[in-house]
Copies of this chain bind each other. A is one copy, B any other.
């Protein structure tokens, strides 16, 4: 018996039939969801009432933000109700003295970035989906992105949370405090829990002074180890102002130039690797010089083979295009098998070597396109199909390739899901790579907070 949601949220905010389609589609086409209903509460109180009704009826709930997740964490299985946060879209407070912003979970990320900028502040979370993802989803998946090196993951940007618990009670942990040592840190339990412990309805986020200066370079490298030396030197020389440090292999540059409109290799020679390094600071003056001096040094030592520094915003965009175009270019090359792995940054070169050798041995002709957030040790170790191979046949190797790559990464003490989460996509990996002790701890926590198991069932925990 489905509860009378219309009585809580109004009939216009209970969707059924084909109206539910946008909430059931998964953007990469990996899953097709179905749901009992889609409910769109307009306040925390309404969320609480909807959850209470579901809990009393024993109906499962799938919280959903912008539906931009990459692991199927927001896909319902037919027996659940989707609770969309999209109407919780108010900025409740912004405090430029405390450097905090209090927002509801349904606020679109780019809206929050803009609100911070209006006060001459920075909200540093930045990722590809920023125009449509919602902050509650970013929090629930502990989103990463391109500025983690400097500002941390979403987790590190959250000071407080308001959460509707699985029984409909509201936990008000919406604190704007930099220091609070009064008991267990509950907010960190809900961040990254992918909606399996409750529904985040609002948050207090950290702001930072807005950068006034930026220095961006693309550097040609003999190997990934050289990038790590340059990164360490740049961190020291810049006062830890390195905001992004991205690695791109030769093939990534080539595919980009081939497929992405306006993408151009800034170098004359086909160097084996390139890195994109970006520094930013709210302190004007000297950042470009610091970067130049680091690069001059690296050129002299042979750690850099060539380097270009962006002289304008246009040039900066052109350099980023090479990095951001890689996934798009890969799509145009046929099938891709993806990985989102992390190891200690010092071990990225070893990880790249071992994984590349292993997948090439297992699938001759496979093209390794390993790129991404070197500064965090987080590499999207993606594979493009062999030239002229059949896409479908290649994609059938997805699980086998995952097994090879993840086994090596796990052996190196790494993570098989660095920034995208688990959802449904990686639930088997949890069973394989997490220790029984760790899985048991997670299950005990899940049971303690959601004894009925109604919150986003089938996600995260195997």
Contact = CB atoms under 8 A, between A and B. Distances in A.
Interface stretch (A181-189, A248-256, A313-321, A388-396): A181-189
B188 A232 contact: no
A433 B170 CA distance: 16
| Copies of this protein, total | 2
Contacts of A435: 171-172
A303 to B, nearest CB: 13
B437 A182 contact: no
A98 B445 CA distance: 31
Contact of A183 (B185, B373, B438): B438
Contact of A191 (B165, B185, B285): B185
A16 interface: no
A351 to B, nearest CB: 12
Chain A interface mostly: loop
A271 interface: no
A172 B436 CA distance: 11
Contacts of A186: 438, 441-442
B346 A95 contact: yes
Interface string A71-88: 000000000000000000
Given A182-B430, A185-B189, A188-B185, A177 B343 contact: yes
Instruction: For the complex of A and B, list the 4 residue pairs with the smallest distance between their C-beta atoms, beginning with the closest.
Output: A239-B283, A188-B188, A239-B281, A97-B346
Interface of A: 95-100, 120, 141-142, 144, 148-149, 152-153, 155-156, 165, 169-173, 175-186, 188-189, 191-193, 197, 208-210, 212, 228, 232, 235-241, 281-283, 285-286, 290, 342-347, 373, 375-378, 413-422, 426, 429-430, 433-435, 437-438, 441-442, 444-449, 460-461
